[in-house]
Amino acid sequence: MTPLAHRGSGAAALGLALLLLTAGTALAADDYTLPFYDPGVTLSYGVDRDRTLGRQLDWTGHVWNDGVPHPGRVYDQHSGVDYPMALRSEVAAARDGTVIDVEGGYGTSQFGNFGNFVLLQHADGRRTLYYHLAGASDGGIGVAVGDKVVAGQMIGRSGCSGICYGAHLHFEMLVWNPGAAAWKPADPLAERRWTTWPGRVPFDAAYVRENNSGTEVMSQGQTITHWVEFRNTGGRTWRSASSVGRIGLATWSPAAHASAFAASDWPSSWVATYLDAASVAPDGVGRFTFGLRGSPAPGSYRETFNLVSQSVRWFDHARLGGFYVPILVSNLPSCGAATSAEMGGSVVKGLIHPMAPVC
Amino acid sequence: MRRACLALLVPVALLAPACSFSDGSASAGPSGPSPPGSVVAAPSPSLALRVPLPSGFPVPSGAEPLAPPDDDPGLIGRWSTNLPGPSAYDFYVEALPAAGFPIVAVYPGGEAAVIRFTVSGGATWQVVMRAGANGGVAIEVRLDRP
């Protein structure tokens, strides 16, 4: 079904019947995350769960009987959740799904009864709608019908197309109502549909610690082990299994550059390592252990790293504290301590490798 | 005699015509004690008690002023305009700080938007924009509220 009704923004155009309210459900690990990347965004208006004109039931359960907009809560007959964001802000899939409809033919800020959107179908039977998007010619639509998307994947850019008072993203969750034989809006906030409460952006991290927060000193040809820990402050569980979305630590500035310090254990010239653990849930701490080889000529260097959800999204490097490792390649030979070669040519994850003293 | 008017939390339609602001001339309501069992007229907010719009407050060119309803004392002014919603919103995002009314927060939306701003003295007010009749936008300026 194409959401022809959604080509008119707002509940009045959609002509929706009474919403089906569901009791609050337990937060699920594979549930929904916020449909954008900036953790600073907060909602303008949530869903009006009371379809009586002039009476509003907001996401907190409060009832308003005045029909006027209530910032941060609701406006009358609203069918989704509005998130303010600048034009052309990146929009993310809230959950794994399939693209079943798109519209990108309207201008980014073209006011009228119809606007640009992406519609996804999810494995739990629900649909999500991302509305008021920028025009396709303006980068507003990043997917095509039939595409499989993963949670957190960028699917388009926000705009102000359709009936839109100020640039924002209208995010709508839909459930099939067999009685009405129609898709009806659900309230993801009232139902606690996010993976965490409150909902979070899909990918975010905070630096915790590392085995050496100072300068790593190594001789030419020597490999040392370095590890760093980050807290998962986003909404998606981190995983290390080989698949789209596995979380890795990779070179940055510029992104994915071939590192001069790549050790033999690196999966590639620019990916230092993947998450040590099989998975790290939101709020958990994940460790990333990797080798650094003193390959360049002696001197002082800095190698910058960022987290990446493979083939999906780089993290916001600034929120990782701009993580980098200062490196000093010494022109003196190493002596005494084991190097990776003496340990059989591999770096043992999780084992703090003694730094080779320069003698 | 000036009559103090207070809003009552009852439907206005059930009451006798509300009293109006009086500067000494006859008011619309009864002047003596009400007979037992009668419904007392619900006095409406005196126009003198409504907060005045500050000098220099921006209003879109061509906007038509509308009379504020009597039962909404928090409403300071309202207008209708043929501007499309995004244009009205963009107007106030620019015009409010330019006129000396710093914006506290913005709440853009589909068929409604609210901009909260401060006035001289530090109080917070709102500009509320909603779809009006005939495809235009209804603009209200009011005291801040949830």
Q: Is B11 helix (H, G, I), strand (E, B) or coil?
A: coil
Residues of chain B with pLDDT > 90, as a percent, come to 45
Residues of chain A with pLDDT > 70, as a percent, come to 85
A24 pLDDT exceeds 80?
no
CA distance B83 to B89: 9
CA distance A282 to A196: 8
Residue B102 pLDDT = 97
Phi, psi of A108 (to 5 degrees): -55, -40
Q: How many CB atoms lie within 10 A of CB B116?
A: 18
Q: Is A13 helix (H, G, I), strand (E, B) or coil?
A: helix
Q: How many CB atoms lie within 10 A of CB A94?
A: 30
ipTM of the complex: 0.80
What average pLDDT does this structure show over A218-236? Answer: 96
What average pLDDT does this structure show over B95-102? Answer: 97
* Burial (0-12, 13-18, 19+ Cβ within 10 Å), A331: exposed
Contacts of A69 in chain B (CB under 8 A): 107, 109, 112-114, 128, 130
CA distance A55 to A76: 7
Virtual CA dihedral for A341, A344, A345, A351, nearest 10 degrees? -90
Identify the residue among B82, B93, B107 best suited for mutation to test binding to A, counting A beta carbons within 10 A and taking the highest: B107
Whole-Å CA distances, A295 to A100, A221, A254, A263, A264:
50, 5, 19, 9, 12
The tens digit of pLDDT for each residue in A129-172 reads 999 999 999 999 999 999 999 999 999 999 999 999 999 999 99
Residue B14 pLDDT = 37
> Binning pLDDT at 50, 70 and 90, where does residue B49 land?
low
> Binning pLDDT at 50, 70 and 90, where does residue B11 land?
very low
Instruction: Tell me how many helices (H) and strands (E) chain B has.
Output: 1, 6
Question: B110 and A164 in contact by Cβ < 8 A?
Answer: yes
B2 pLDDT exceeds 90?
no
User: Could you say which of B107, B111, B146 has the minimum Cβ distance to residue A163?
Assistant: B111
User: Could you say which of B84, B110, B137 has the minimum Cβ distance to residue A10?
Assistant: B110
The CA distance from A168 to the nearest CA of chain B, in Å, is 6
Q: How many CA atoms lie within 13 A of B101 on its CB side?
A: 25
Chain B contact residues (CB < 8 Å to A): 84-90, 93, 105-114, 116, 126, 128-131, 137, 146
Question: Count of CB contacts below 8 A, A vs B?
Answer: 92
Whether residue B143 contacts residue B76, with contact meaning beta carbons closer than 8 Å, is answered with yes
The tens digit of pLDDT for each residue in A59-87 reads 999 999 988 899 999 999 999 999 999 99
The tens digit of pLDDT for each residue in A163-203 reads 999 999 999 999 999 999 999 999 999 999 999 999 999 99
Instruction: Tell me how many helices (H) and strands (E) chain A has.
Output: 1, 24
Identify the residue among A44, A65, A165 best suited for mutation to test binding to B, counting B beta carbons within 10 A and taking the highest: A165
Residue A334 pLDDT = 63
Question: A164 and B88 in contact by Cβ < 8 A?
Answer: no
Task: Output DSSP code: residue A349.
Answer: T
> Binning pLDDT at 50, 70 and 90, where does residue B4 land?
very low
User: Could you say which of B86, B106, B112 has the minimum Cβ distance to residue A109?
Assistant: B86
Tell me the DSSP string of A229-264: EEEE-SSSPEE-SSSTT-EEEEETTTTTPPPTTB-T
Whether residue A89 contacts residue A58, with contact meaning beta carbons closer than 8 Å, is answered with no
Residue B22 pLDDT = 30
A336 pLDDT exceeds 60?
no
CA distance B74 to B55: 18
Whole-Å CA distances, A74 to A70, A79, A304:
5, 10, 44
Question: A84 and B108 in contact by Cβ < 8 A?
Answer: yes
> Binning pLDDT at 50, 70 and 90, where does residue B35 land?
very low
What average pLDDT does this structure show over B25-46? Answer: 42
Q: Mean pLDDT across chain B, nearest whole number?
A: 74
Residue B47 pLDDT = 52
What average pLDDT does this structure show over B129-134? Answer: 83
Sign of the alpha-carbon torsion through A259, A265, A271, A273: negative
CA distance A342 to B40: 98
CA distance A228 to A111: 49
Q: Mean pLDDT across chain A, nearest whole number?
A: 88
* Burial (0-12, 13-18, 19+ Cβ within 10 Å), A290: buried
Weakest-pLDDT range from A94-98, A197-201, B19-23:
B19-23
Residue A17 pLDDT = 38
Contacts of A84 in chain B (CB under 8 A): 106-108
Q: How many CA atoms lie within 13 A of B12 on its CB side?
A: 12
A3 pLDDT exceeds 60?
no
User: DSSP strand E in A85-236: where?
Assistant: 90-92, 97-103, 116-121, 127-133, 148-149, 154-157, 168-177, 182-186, 205-210, 216-219, 223-232
Phi, psi of B93 (to 5 degrees): -60, -35
Residue A27 pLDDT = 62
What average pLDDT does this structure show over B31-59? Answer: 61
Weakest-pLDDT range from A50-59, A288-297, B40-49, B79-88:
B40-49
Identify the residue among B71, B114, B117, B125 best suited for mutation to test binding to A, counting A beta carbons within 10 A and taking the highest: B114
B5 pLDDT exceeds 70?
no
Place of tokens 């589909």: B110
What average pLDDT does this structure show over A257-261? Answer: 97
What average pLDDT does this structure show over A282-309? Answer: 96
Q: Is B14 helix (H, G, I), strand (E, B) or coil?
A: helix
- At residue B77's C-alpha, the angle toward residues B75 and B82, to 5°, is 125
The pairing of beta strand A168-177 with beta strand A81-84: antiparallel
Weakest-pLDDT range from A293-307, A333-347, B5-19:
B5-19
Both tokens of A96, joined, read 């794994």
Q: Is A307 helix (H, G, I), strand (E, B) or coil?
A: strand
Place of tokens 């929904």: A32
The CA distance from B130 to the nearest CA of chain A, in Å, is 8
